[in-house]
Amino acid sequence: MVPAPSLAVSIRWNFWPCCMPPLTIDVRKADDARDVVHRAVQALAEGKLVVFPTETVYGVGALGLNEEAVSRLRAVKSRKGGHPLPLAIGGAEEALDYAPNVSPLFHRLARRCWPGPVTLVVDASHPQSLVKQLPSTVQQAVAPHQTVGLRVPGHQITLDILKMVAGPVVLTSANRGGELEAKTAQEALKSLGDDVALILDDGPSRFGAPSSVVRVREDDFEVLREGVVPNRALKRLANMMVLFVCTGNTCRSPMAEWIFRKLAAKRLGCGIGEIEDNGLVVRSAGIAAGVGGSVSPEVLEVLGDEDMDLESHETQPVTETLVRNADVIYTMTPSHRQAIVTQWPDAAERTQVLAVNGSSVVDPIGGSSERYRQCANQIETELATRIDELNL
C-alpha cells in the first residue's frame, strides 16, 4: 500500500498562499516518486492548479470535481464557452464511466492509442455518464456540445497521479491562450507563473507537439486536430484486426489467415492484397512459435495453387502487442485460448476457439497432404460461419 503523505507535506499545502511562486519538483531527482505523486494529488484535492509532464507537451490541470479550480483554469487559458477542455483519465477502462455506449471503433482506438498522444472525443449525452455528475460549470467547460474529450497520457508519473486522484483531471496544454505550447517545465513556468501551485519537471517532452484530437462516432472518425499521430496512421489504427493462433504458426494459423483473406476479399469486393485498404488487417501467430520460420511444405502444396502469397509467410510468436491490437482472436484449440487469456485476461472477451462448437482444429503436422487438405477444409467451413459474425 502506498503510504499517505506526511504531516509536513499536508501543512505545507494547507498554508500555501496564492501569491507565492509555484513549487517546482524535478521528478528525475526525486528520492521517492510516491511522494511526488502524493504532493500532486493533494494539490489537486485542495483546488490548486498543477503542471504535469506528458509525452506530448506539458499540461496544466485542475480536479474536475472542483468548479472553482476549473474556472481558474479556464481563466488562465482564456477559454470561453463552447471551446471544451479535455479530461485526463487513468486508463481506457475508465472511459466507459464517461461514455457508457461507446462504439467498437472507440474500443479499438483506445486499446491501440492509449496510453499515448491521442485525445478521443465521444458522445457524453448518456444519462449514466459521469459527466452528468460533475458540477454544472465544469460540465459546460468539458462538454458544452454533449461530447467529451478523453485522454490517457503516456507518462508514468502523470498516470500514477490520475489513478490515485479522486475524480477526473481537466487537463490542457500548460500555456496561456495564444501562446505556444510548453515543451519544458521552464516554458510552462514562464507562461503560467504564479497561477499554478506545483510544477513537475521531467525534462523536455518526448514529442514536443500536441496530441491528435479525434472525434469517434459509431462507424467512422474525424480528425479534429492532427497532432503527434498523423491522419494516415489513425486510419491504419482504426482498421479491424483479426488474429489466428495455433502452436507453431507453420500450419493451422497461416492456413486460417490466408483462407480468411480470400473469403474477406470476396466479401469486400477487392483483391486479397487490397483488404487493408478496405479496413481489415489479418495476422497469425503461434503460442510456441519462433521468429522468421516458413510454413510447412504441405501447406504450400494444399493452398499454393490459389492466389495466396504463402511463401512470404514468416512465423511469429503471440505477443502482448498483437493481443492488445486484435479485435478478434481465433484459436485452433481450447488450450490455445486458455494460454492467451491466462497471460492476458483483458483479451478473454475477444478470444474464441475457431470451431463454433468449441472443438479443436486437428493439427496436421507430420501427416499426409490429404490430412492437410482435410484441415484446410475444416478451417474454411468454420470461417464461412465466423465471417458472417464480423459484419464485414
Q: Find the catalytic residue in 215, 363, 371, 373.
A: 363
Q: Is 251 a catalytic residue?
A: no
Q: Find the catalytic residue in 246, 251, 337, 375.
A: 246
Q: Is 270 a catalytic residue?
A: no
Our CA dihedral for 192, 163, 124, 81, rounded to 10 degrees, sits at -10
Q: Which three cell numbers stand for residue 113?
A: 492509442
Q: Is 18 a catalytic residue?
A: no
3-class secondary structure for the chain? Answer: CCCCCCHHHHHHHHCCCCCCCCEEEECCCCCCHHHHHHHHHHHHHCCCCEEECCCCCCEEEEECCCHHHHHHHHHHHCCCCCCCCCEECCCHHHHHHHCCCCCHHHHHHHHHHCCCCEEEEEECCCCCCHHHHCCHHHHHHHCCCCEEEEECCCCHHHHHHHHHCCCCEEEEECCCCCCCCCCCHHHHHHHHHHHCCEEEECCCCCCCCCCEEEEECCCCEEEEECCCCCHHHHHHHCCEEEEEEECCCCCHHHHHHHHHHHHHHHHHCCCHHHCHHHCEEEEEEECCCCCCCCCCHHHHHHHCCCCCCHHHCCCCECCHHHHHHCCEEEECCHHHHHHHHHHCHHHHHHEEECCCCCCCCCCCCCCCHHHHHHHHHHHHHHHHHHHHHCCC
Our CA dihedral for 165, 168, 174, 180, rounded to 10 degrees, sits at 150
Q: Find the catalytic residue in 72, 108, 111, 252.
A: 252
Catalytic residues: 246, 252, 363
